[in-house]
Amino acid sequence: MDVGSRLKEARKKRGFSQRKLAQEADVSNGTISLIEQNKISPSVALLKRLLEGLSMSLGEFFNEDKYPKEKQFFHADELTEHTFGSIRFLQVGGDLHDRRLQILREHYPPHSDTGELMLVHNGEEGGIVLRGEIEVTVGDEIQLLRAGDAYYFESNKPHRFRNPGDDDCEIFSVCTPPNF
Amino acid sequence: MDVGSRLKEARKKRGFSQRKLAQEADVSNGTISLIEQNKISPSVALLKRLLEGLSMSLGEFFNEDKYPKEKQFFHADELTEHTFGSIRFLQVGGDLHDRRLQILREHYPPHSDTGELMLVHNGEEGGIVLRGEIEVTVGDEIQLLRAGDAYYFESNKPHRFRNPGDDDCEIFSVCTPPNF
DNA sequence: TAGCATAGTTTATTATATTGAACAATGGAA
DNA sequence: TTCCATTGTTCAATATAATAAACTATGCTA
């Protein structure tokens, strides 16, 4: 995890010295030095104070991924395909284990249906209908969306996608974090 | 922040008892009890071990936002419009302050160009080309993407979008966290 | 060069987290 | 009911983090 390096980087980005941050967060400067060298592991409470001094949330702090990522561009035939019954998902990128977005082009044949999907991650998801019609159920809300319409909700609500029409439906969707 | 309640909730969701989690994470069960009551603030190192026992990352743990969100469905004419010169962005949802995704339908007229965009958040962004052609520059890589092609990179790299052709270009894009 | 300000580091002391074991409290099964 | 298993809680002992002050190093100005 390397909390030390991350803290140091965040501090440097703000242009703070250890002492400046120590003052802001009401912490001793020695403590900051030890943390940055990973000689001690700060309590969550202390780290929170430090990050407040840097105007950063714990969530942001721990989500800052810095490993350089591989492929950046994907040709249409390089998208990773997933199928669930007759429904096809074309995913941007392969292994999304250490990534935050799952970007999909979804293809729903006429009368296809995901059924109720269980709550997976505690994330968010949204999308825009490219063509055709799709009936989206989220919690106790049901909506029929057409080309150009969009949705955006929290993934922990039970949800369902159903193509009620006689034409194909295509959706551009995204969720964070990735589901599969 | 209430680390205690969050930990308890995450543990319950997995169906673990305090002792079961203690065993998984090689921590004493008493410690878990005290943490869940917010009587002590665990070190980051310990919390990490606990979350590993629950198959959860620190980032996920601190990002679990539970405030219920408002609107879930958006008709095509309800998308929020942003314009930068001749480039139009249609955004899903209005105020994204407390949200994690910014979902856009982007419209690039012939020969439009964003210029070099500065690094904004330390996030990620990606998208798929719906129609037309777009030249995408990320760091020192340049690619011409056509309908169906996609991109996915880290937002802290300088990047630029340019429509070199004589036809309109439309893109579905997403970034986390939101930029504007 | 000397003098001073600021940077990060180290260390003995103090405060806090963590342990391990004992302590309820609850819920079956016999 | 009694017995046993399992739950979460508490507390003295121990390990670790956090402090405050001393220390080193660097750079700037006179």
Give pLDDT tens digits for B54-101.
878 887 788 755 334 466 777 777 777 888 878 888 887 777 666 778
Give pLDDT tens digits for A129-155.
899 999 988 877 888 989 888 888 877
In the numeric block, which tokens belong to residue A122?
Answer: 């505690």
Integer distance in angstroms from the first to the last C-alpha of chain B?
A: 26
Question: Mean pLDDT of all residues in chain B?
Answer: 82
Q: What is the mean pLDDT of residues A35-51?
A: 91
pLDDT band at B107 (very low <50, low <70, confident <90, very high): very high
When comparing pLDDT for B86 and A77, which is higher? B86
When comparing pLDDT for A74 and B89, which is higher? B89
Strand D contact nucleotides, protein CB < 7 Å: 6-11, 16-22
Type of residue found at A43: S
Q: At what angle do helices A18-25 and A44-53 cross, to 10 degrees?
A: 110
Where is average pLDDT lowest: B61-70, B108-117, B134-143, B144-153? Answer: B61-70
pLDDT of residue A68: 42
Burial B92-124 (b: 16+ CB within 10 A, else e): bbeebeebbbbbbbbbbeeebebeeeeeeebbb
CATH superfamily of B3-63: lambda repressor-like DNA-binding domains (1.10.260.40)
**CATH of segment(s) A76-176:** 2.60.120.10
In the numeric block, which tokens belong to residue B120?
Answer: 């904004």
In the numeric block, which tokens belong to residue A25?
Answer: 């967060």
HSE-CB at A37 with a 13 A cutoff on CA atoms is 7
Chain A hits for B124, Cβ within 8 Å: 99-101
pLDDT of residue B149: 86
CA distance to partner chain B, nearest, from residue A163 (Å): 16
Burial B27-37 (b: 16+ CB within 10 A, else e): beeebbbebbe
Domain ranges across chain A:
3-63, 76-176
pLDDT band at A71 (very low <50, low <70, confident <90, very high): low
When comparing pLDDT for B71 and A13, which is higher? A13
Beta strands of A50-154 (E only): which ranges? 73-74, 80-84, 87-91, 102-108, 124-131, 133-138, 141-146, 150-154
Beta strands of A18-115 (E only): which ranges? 73-74, 80-84, 87-91, 102-108
Question: How far apart are the C-alpha atoms of B173 and B137, rounded to whole Å?
Answer: 15
* pLDDT above 90 (res A168): yes
pLDDT band at A125 (very low <50, low <70, confident <90, very high): confident
CB B61, CB B10: distance < 8 Å: yes
pLDDT of residue B122: 65
Strand C contact nucleotides, protein CB < 7 Å: 6-11, 16-22
In the numeric block, which tokens belong to residue B71?
Answer: 């609107």
